[in-house]
Amino acid sequence: MFLLRSVRNSDLDGLRELSGLANFINLPPNIKMLKERIESSERSFKKPSSDLSKNNYFFVLEDLDKKKIAGVSMIHAQHGTEKEPHFYLKEGKERKYSETLRQGYIHGTLTLGLDHDGPTEIGGLVLHPEYRGKKLGKQLSLVRFLFLGMHPENFKETIHAELLPPFDDNGNSPLWEAIGRRFLNMDYSEADELSRTNKEFILSLFPREKIYETLLPMDARSAIGKVGKETIPVKKMLEKIGFHYAEEVDPFDGGPHYKAKLKEISTIKNMFTGEISSCKDFSPTSANSVIITLPSDEGEFLATQINVNLKGDKIIPERELEIGFKTSGIFI
């Protein structure tokens, strides 16, 4: 049995273990910072701030049998403000032609961009290796869209996702070695760590003019806008529900940025609501696999994956649930 829910203070040890499995800005391997993230999430679920940039929502997948946190995913209601802009490298094309030589070229370019009124960001999906291969990562990913669809007023019109690119065997980014290190004179990991609390150095030291991709080493050029092997399923899932490549990449590692309008995401467009009925009339032959919300205390979010029959505004579950409560759901 697995439960999808908002994070609690008691989840600190589980999050600390997960933070050592992936290098995400929103899931740092630092106890103090993890505590701050948990407190921020609890405030956001209970009483969202009118300043959307302060609202962070952490969802965990709990293995109820083992009492273990199997994974985590997140929503940041606004990524990019006047104080901490959302940075990216915009991909472009520039045509060059010589009448004398009768030769022309199309050069790929990268230009630093920033957004002071940024989009809502989904990210930070980490699943413990023990639980991989069981389609649990899909639950962690999709539960965020259930919450977005239930509370669209608390988020921006555009939803943004940053995907991880391929790294070399030592965890280095080819694009960082080709550009970032030359202008910032630090390791990728150092710059990534610093950017979690301060982004001033990016604007001050990173080149603002066009960067011609033809001047970069081939391994760096090949990494621009690409995803690593482990990220391919995430990319396919996002594309399937309506996200598209925004022709933007992370300025540090070249990972692609994907975007979609909240109201155009198919998972949200196809959301349903209804009242839970008795499971005695459940029919496996016409079952739908869904994620539905469960009754919870104010300020807490609970959901689970389950097979149900949908009959008008009646939802018939495969297993016994509290009858009569109103629920929202999305298809898996």
Domain with 53 in it: what CATH number? 3.40.630.30
Same domain, 123 and 179: no
Average pLDDT of the chain is 93
For residue 260, what pLDDT is reported?
A: 98
On whether both 110 and 209 belong to a single domain, the answer is: yes
Q: Is 189 in the same domain as 72?
A: no
pLDDT tens digits along 149-166: 999 999 999 999 999 898
Residue 93 has pLDDT above 80, yes or no: yes
Task: Give the residue from 156, 174, 208 where a domain finishes.
Answer: 156
Output the pLDDT for position 118. 96
Show the CA angle centred on residue 263, arms to residues 87 and 118, nearest 5°.
Answer: 15
Instruction: Answer with the one of 249, 269, 289 that is the final residue of a domain.
Output: 269
- Among 224, 246, 269, which residue terminates a domain? 269
Of 49 and 298, the structure prediction assigns the larger pLDDT to 49
Q: For the ranges 33-37, 209-213, 214-218, which has the lowest average pLDDT?
A: 33-37
**108 and 175 together in one domain:** yes
With tokens 């199997």, the residue in question is 70
| Same domain for 94 and 134 | no
Measure the N-to-C terminal CA separation of the chain; round to a whole number of Å: 17
- pLDDT for 207 equals 92
8 Å CB contact between 303 and 5: yes
The total number of structural domains that make up the chain = 3
Question: Which of these, 185, 126, 118, lies nearest to 157 by C-alpha position?
Answer: 118
Helix (H, G, I), strand (E, B) or coil at 282: coil
Instruction: Note if the pTM is more than 0.85.
Output: yes
Are 144 and 286 in the same domain? no
Q: Which domain holds residue 14?
A: 1-76+119-156
- In this structure, the answer to whether residues 183 and 294 fall within a common structural domain is no
Domain check: are 106 and 68 in the same one? no
Measuring CA to CA, which residue among 77, 65, 70, 53 is closest to residue 5? 70
Q: Per-residue pLDDT for 315 more than 90?
A: yes
Say yes or no: 127 and 197 in one domain: no
Say if strands 68-76 and 314-317 run parallel, antiparallel, or are unpaired: unpaired
- Residues 70 and 206 occupy one common structural domain: no
pLDDT of residue 132: 87
Q: Give the residue-averaged pLDDT of 77-98.
A: 95
Answer whether residue 26 shows pLDDT above 70. no
Q: Are residues 143 and 281 in the same domain?
A: no
Confidence band, pLDDT 50/70/90 cuts, at residue 242: very high
Q: Which of 28-32, 149-153, 224-228, 231-235 has the lowest mean pLDDT?
A: 28-32
Question: For position 25, what pLDDT does the model report?
Answer: 62
Q: What is the pLDDT of residue 24?
A: 64
Q: Are residues 47 and 143 in the same domain?
A: yes
The tokens for 263 are 């109201």
Q: Are 250 and 89 in contact (CB under 8 A)?
A: yes
CA gap 93, 256 in Å, rounded: 17
